[in-house]
């Protein structure tokens, strides 16, 4: 499956638009505040990477259920809540491209 933030895929022709597709990931465990800012920011970075991967996997699975073979125009939204939870949502347009 091709995933891209652009609206077109160079070298491919979009032959069918399936619809909007999304994926959401939220970290399960609340991150603990620490006086060591280096550890805190590393924990945030690690959490964002993990949650982003979950969101993209969900996006991929949802697009596959729509019989799409690509998702274009992907927008990634990352939010760190005041309670130190990381939430990532990804949204794009599921399409079929000629291969």
- Cα separation, 83 vs 93, in Å, equals 31
State CA 87 to chain mean position distance. Answer: 10
CA–CA dist 25, 19 (Å, integer): 20
pLDDT by residue (tens digit) across 10-58? 999 999 999 999 999 988 766 566 677 788 778 778 888 899 999 999 9
Beta-strand relationship, 86-98 and 70-80: antiparallel
Q: Are 23 and 89 in contact (CB under 8 A)?
A: yes
54-83 per-position pLDDT tens digit: 999 999 999 999 999 999 999 999 998 777
CATH number of the CATH domain containing 14: 3.30.110.70
Is residue 61 within 8 A of residue 3, CB to CB? The reply is no
* Structural domain total, the chain: 1
pLDDT tops 90 at residue 97: yes
Strands ordered across the beta sheet of 86-98: 2-3, 70-80, 86-98, 13-26
Residue 94: pLDDT band (50, 70, 90) is very high
pTM: 0.84
Percent of the chain with pLDDT over 70: 94
- The domain in which residue 90 lies consists of 2-98
């Amino acid at each position: 499956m091709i995933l891209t933030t652009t609206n077109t895929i160079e070298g491919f022709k979009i032959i069918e638009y399936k619809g909007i597709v999304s994926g959401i990931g939220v970290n399960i465990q609340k991150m603990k505040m620490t006086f060591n800012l280096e550890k805190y920011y590393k924990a945030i970075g690690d959490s964002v990477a993990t949650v982003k991967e979950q969101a993209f996997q969900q996006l991929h699975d949802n697009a596959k259920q729509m019989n799409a073979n690509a998702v274009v125009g992907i927008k990634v939204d990352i939010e760190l809540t005041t309670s130190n939870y990381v939430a990532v949502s990804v949204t794009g347009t599921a399409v079929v491209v000629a291969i």
